Amino acid sequence: MAKGTVNKVILVGRLGADPDIRYSANGTAIAKLSVATTDRVPAGEGNWEDKTEWHRVVVFGKLAETCGNYLSKGRLVYLEGSLRTQQWEDKEGVKRYTTEIVARDMTMLGGSEEHGQQGQAGSGYSRGGPAQAPAARPAVEDLPPQSGPPEDDIPF
């Protein structure tokens, strides 16, 4: 890293589509993600509106495979990486540019039910199959009395 410079991006956003996974000629996994972040901005006269920004994200290697296996449209994710701009010429010889985030770290946020998938507690990342309604939970009155120390007394 050059002295005095930083190229770091941190995003917390939702996937706009399932990851697009491909493999390079040497077998390296490459995942392309479309991530949305939303800010509230003033809209005049005391009103506010949501402004959504879309980000192109690319992930390589094992992390790309993890993205392909566990992420899906709507999932809330934390991504950390750096900006990269690529330049090329189109068919007419016009220089074109695209800027993307090269993610080096990804953390899945929220539960599976939060992004539209329903599964059993602990399974978290199941994909496919028909969605099942969650089992009805008993009312508080139907629960057995608490045994052991109150949660406030647990040392961890």
Dump pLDDT digits (tens) for 62-86: 999 999 999 999 999 999 999 999 9
Dump pLDDT digits (tens) for 14-44: 999 999 999 999 999 999 999 999 999 998 8
What pLDDT score does 104 carry?
97
* Rounded distance between C-alpha atoms, residue 116 and residue 113, angstroms: 5
* Rounded distance between C-alpha atoms, residue 33 and residue 16, angstroms: 8
**CB contact at 8 A, 24 and 67:** no
Domains of the chain: 1-41+48-113 (2.40.50.140)
Dump pLDDT digits (tens) for 88-138: 999 999 999 999 999 999 999 986 555 554 333 232 332 233 333 334 444
